[in-house]
Structure 1
Amino acid sequence: MTDHVQGLIAQRPDLPVAAIARKAGVAPSTLKALLSDVQCGPDAARTVSRTTAARLLAVALDGLPHRDRGYGGRSADAAPALRHVRALLTAHPHLSQAALARAAGISLTTLAAALHDVDAGRPRRIQAAAADRLLALGTRTPLPEHATRRGDTVDAQPVADHIRALRVRYDRASTAFIAQVAGVNASTLASALIDHERGGRRGIHTNVARRVLAVRELPPPAFPRRSHVTEIGLLRRLRGLCAAGWTLPAIAQAGATTAKSLTDFTRTGTSTPAVRGAILTAWDRLAHRPGPSAQARRRAAAKAWDPPLAWDEHGIDDPDTIPSGTRMPGRSQHWDPSLLQHELAFFTRHGLSRPECLRRLGLSTMRARQLLYPPPAAPGTPHTTAT
């Protein structure tokens, strides 16, 4: 079926693919997608319904529109008119395609599609009257004047700078997502920014600017950029949350992802931007709160996973760093007064009481007292501290 269509295109290179689709009674986007998949190789080929295939196979070369009979015999080659339009857009940066389309009395979509085809070197025909009106722009027909800014708009530069700063601070912070957080229409915001980049003077609506500038923090799935985060660090964070009593569904919900995505990451060890953001967001929200699942804690303990407080933010992403305040399997901890004081200070900063600290460290109260307050050495006997 696609071979038949490609044969028609080879014999009629002047005819747009959309004309073949219209003749067959199928959507042009469907036919273009089929041809695009064929160019990507046999593995990308897709299937279509029997009705669509039959309609395309029924198209005969003689039944296709003739180049001289387009628009009822009133068509013309679009290249001269569109080259004139492209020259106007280059010479007058304040002009937009929409303004020229309105001045020539044609639709913006028609002008944009014709420009796209002519710029790509593809043949294109448009109505002869429309071509004449486009060629008259700047000669017989005056060009549109500079757009004047409405009274309810402001300069878009502060908004553009603010969005750029948010995208620098956050991963996955698209303009559409920022518009969603701000509660404004994404198309309106994108259109204003595009017009601003082209040097347009339209500005941006005051209410839109106020809402966008009020956005200071972005929620998930956007997350602050952390270039130092490693895959091992993400895995340690995920395991640490499980050790604190959080289940994978709860972690996924806090990070705005799915439990399956987290499971796939634990199996492959390779994170996607979505999983990366989800784990970092869940870590910030849950790391210093005990989870409700005793089963998650038991499973993590059976696998010797270290809890969140065993890591500090500077060492969790370093593969050579060992956790603080936890015993590694098969390795005994050598305690001395300075190390114990360091560990107690670390846990105390996170709100743990002295008994909770000692329980995390695996020390009894008596052993901790012996380390922190050793008995005085006997006269003549060098003082030693058991480790």
Structure 2
Amino acid sequence: MRTDRVDARPVSDHVRGLIAQRPDLPVAVIARRAGVAASTVKSLLSDAQRSPDAARTVNPATAARLLAVMPDDLPQCDRGYGGRSTDATPALRHVRELLTEHPHLTQAALARAASMPLTTLAAALHDVDAGQPRRIQAAAADRLLALGNRTPLPKRATRRSDTVDAQPAVDHVRALQLRYDRASTAFIAKVAGVNPSTLACALIDHERDARRGISTDVARRILAVHELPPPAFQRRGHVTETGLLRRLHGMCAAGWTLPAIAHAGATTAKSLTDFTRTRTSTPALRAAVLTAWDHLSHQPGPSAQARRRAAAKAWHPPLAWDEHSIDDPDATPSGTRIPGFPQRWDPSVLRHELAFFTHHLGLSRPECLRRLGLSTRRARQLLTPPPADPGTHHATAP
């Protein structure tokens, strides 16, 4: 036997004795109490069971730790932490009172002052607030109850040199959320290249204490975001449920299926179907329909079946409406033209639609004509006024 090893049989016998007295506990609990890897204990037990007479050895320090574990040291069914726990309610109510009375305090600061993990304090506080039973170490409870009595409270944290005033960044985030639908804090953080939890914590800290700062780099990244990409969508206050339904029906009349419309709007066909049934929209649904409308309403869709179904239900195509009438419940459609399909053009209508494409969608003249299914030559013919009749001119001359 090596001089730096000891016989493992007394250790494995001791562990088996602990298991016999506490069959409800897994081996990992005993190993954790001894400060030993669970795999080490399991290996000792496995070797002892497979070859009882084998000369298995173990590290002296590991043997000492396992042999030192007594049955009373193990967690009890009704008493956590080996009988050294207590009801957490009084201590956690005291913590909640401190957080309410002193806005500058945080759970992290109180956890540090009480020498306990923040996760333990947060979980216990959550359970107590929810009215659920919770026990914590008696020593930790005593340290929490001492805060503000025998132990002074943590002082207000001074702003670190690498932080700036958080107010401009907070105002900027709120402004983006007012301008855009689907502009959650997490989405804004993602666009800015900031960890979402970092931004969320900064907003919460600022709400609790406006004097707390925010990281200079985080503030710079947030303030650099001026526009949000899809699926965020600029809010349109005049949009109505009637207008959304007309847009949805119009895209179907143009040959777009619900799955295609849902894909263009970054939503699901089920959400669109539910809206057609309930006629009640959410910000996400409104943004999805408007996004799809901007992408699909002025080009023909590939589904003839969608067009037939829309025609059977007397749904009007997109160009039967304009932006001023589509959201008005009392407005009536101005026509039934389907984009991409031949029609008899009126010069005034063509000028109106070219202006819409140019000013509202930012399209060039060739892109406008391509969407309308017109050649440049045909558009020039329609937009060029006919020459004056010479005979009429001479007849009216003095």
TM-score of the pair, normalised by structure 2: 0.61
Contact 1:196/1:202, CA 8 A, preserved across alignment: yes
Write the deviation string for residues 351-386 of structure 1: whole angstroms up to 9, x where unpaired: 567xx799xxxxxx99xx99xx9x99xxxxxxxxxx
Aligned to 1:323: 333
Q: What do the CA deviations read for 1:27-60 (whole angstroms, capped 9, x no partner)?
A: xxxxxxxxxxxxxxxxxxxxxxxxxxxxxxxxxx
Aligned residues of 1:325 and 1:343 also touching (Cα < 8 A):
no
| Partner of residue 142, structure 2 | 132
* CA–CA separation in structure 2 for the residues paired with 1:126 and 1:199: 29
Deviation at 1:160, TM superposition (A): 1.1
Please point out which of 104, 108, 114 is paired with 2:118: 108
Whole-Å Cα distance in 2 between the matches of residues 281 and 268 of structure 1? 20
| 1:141 partnered with 2:147 | no
Amino acid corresponding to residue 174 of structure 2 in structure 1: R
SS of the residue aligned with 2:111?
Answer: helix
SS at match of 1:163: helix
User: Which of 163, 185, 190 is residue 175 of structure 1 equivalent to?
Assistant: 185
After superposition, the Cα gap between the structure-2 partners of 1:236 and 1:110, relative to the gap in structure 1 and judged at 3 Å, is: same
Note if 1:252 corresponds to 2:262: yes
Alignment of 1:303-322 (within 5 A): 303=312, 305-322=315-332
After superposition, give the CA deviation of every residue in 1:243-296 in whole Å (9 maximum; x if it has no partner). 4454444432221123444355446655454333211111123334x2462737
Could you tell me which amino acid in structure 1 is paired with residue 188 of structure 2? I
- Which residue matches 2:352? 346
Aligned position for 2:77: 65
1:225 to 1:142, Cα distance in 2 relative to 1, 3 A: same
The alpha carbon displacement at 1:205 in A equals 1.8
Q: 1:103 to 1:318 in 2, by over 3 A?
A: same
Query: 1:350 is paired with a residue of what secondary structure?
Result: helix
Contact 1:254 1:282 survives alignment (8 Å): yes
**1:246–1:296: 8 Å Cα contact kept in structure 2?**
no
Change (3 A) 1:247 1:118: closer
2:98 to 88, 91, 94: 88
- State the shift of 1:111 in Å: 2.0
Q: TM-score, normalised by structure 1?
A: 0.63
Q: Give the letter for the 2:272 counterpart.
A: L
Choose which of 197, 202, 216 in structure 2 pairs with 1:192: 202
Query: Matched residues in 2 for 1:91 and 1:273: separation?
Result: 37
Q: 266, 276, 287: which is aligned to 1:277?
A: 287
State the match for 2:165 in structure 1. 155
After superposition, the C-alpha distances for 1:119-170 in whole angstroms (9 at most, x for unaligned) are 4555543222112222332344332222233332222111111111122222
Distance 2:356 2:103 in 1: 58
Q: How many aligned positions are there? A: 293
Output the CA distance in 2 between the equivalents of 1:81 and 1:268: 49
**CA root-mean-square deviation:** 4.0
1:295 to 304, 311, 330: 304
Shift in Å, 1:85: 2.6
Q: 1:293 to 1:85 in 2, by over 3 A?
A: closer
Name the SS of the counterpart of 2:230 in structure 1.
Answer: coil
Distance in structure 1 (CA, Å) of the matches to 2:281 and 2:262: 14
State the match for 2:175 in structure 1: 165
CA distance in structure 1 between the partners assigned to 2:290 and 2:147 by the alignment: 56
Equivalent in 207, 220, 237 of residue 210 of structure 1: 220
User: Aligned pair in 2 of structure 1 residues 274, 90: CA closer, same or farther (>3 Å)?
Assistant: closer
Farther off after superposition, 258-267 or 212-221 = 258-267
Identity of paired residues, percent?
A: 72
Matched residue of 1:154: which SS? strand
